[in-house]
Amino acid sequence: AGRGEARPDKMAAGGAADAQARFGHSVKGLLTEKVTSCGTDVIALTKQVLKGSRSAELLGQAARNMVMQEDAILHSEDSLRKMAIITTHLQYQ
């Protein structure tokens, strides 16, 4: 009777070890999926940050170009005023 009882214990212990191994593999699989997902999210976030950085750079460049255009417009306006004054003087002569 002693031998018959020892065998089910070994099978139960073997079954528990097998279940524990399956659980370990399952956890490893889930962990791998989560790490992969997090890695993908980090890459997407990095791309967005870089895109935002590039957008800020482009906006700064556009602002500088607008300032240069504004200076050119003001200079042209000043030149037109001077030409209008010269035209008026020429009409008097």
Q: Which H helix or E strand runs over 93?
A: none
Return the structure tokens found at 13: 């212990």
Going by C-alpha positions, the residue among 31, 85, 67 that lies closest to residue 59 is 67
pLDDT at 88 exceeding the cut of 50? yes
State whether the Cα torsion 53-59-63-69 is positive or negative. Answer: positive
pLDDT digits (tens, 9 = 90+) for 25-64: 787 888 888 888 888 999 988 888 888 888 888 888 999 9
Return the structure tokens found at 91: 């009409």
